[in-house]
Amino acid sequence: MKKIDVTEHILVPKHVLLTEKEKEQILQKYNVSLLELPKIKKKDPAIAHLNVKTGDVIKVIRKSATAGEALFYRSVV
């Protein structure tokens, strides 16, 4: 059976794993803790290829008709 790569689907936004430095900058910029960020499961098909661990932060880049791009951040659980 052929595996489907969900990251290639038009409706799946781009997911990027942040470095530790970028993670700290984002948490400081928005004055939030890791626990306050929305969650994304480690086994989510959209981030399966990123080799994530619990506590990582994922930047989700969605296309926006008005802003061009909209950024969202998720904490890996």
- pLDDT single digits (tens) 11-43: 999 999 999 999 999 999 999 999 999 999 999
Strand order in the sheet with 39-40: 14-17, 57-64, 68-76, 39-40
Whether the CB-CB separation of 53 and 19 falls below 8 Å is answered with: no
* 50 pLDDT above the threshold of 90: yes
Q: CA 4 to CA 40: how far, in whole Å?
A: 20
Residue 1 inside a domain? The answer is no
Domains of the chain: total: 1
CATH number at residue 22: 3.90.940.20
Q: Which pLDDT band, with edges at 50, 70 and 90, does 10 fall under? A: confident
Q: CA 60 to CA 4: how far, in whole Å?
A: 20
* 1 pLDDT above the threshold of 80: no
Range of the domain at 44: 6-76
The whole-model pTM stands at 0.88
Residue 40 inside a domain? The answer is yes
* Mean pLDDT, all residues of the chain: 94
Residue 28 inside a domain? The answer is yes
Residue 33 inside a domain? The answer is yes
Taking the C-alpha atoms of 11, 77, 18 and 51 in order, what is their torsion angle to the nearest 10 degrees?
Answer: -80
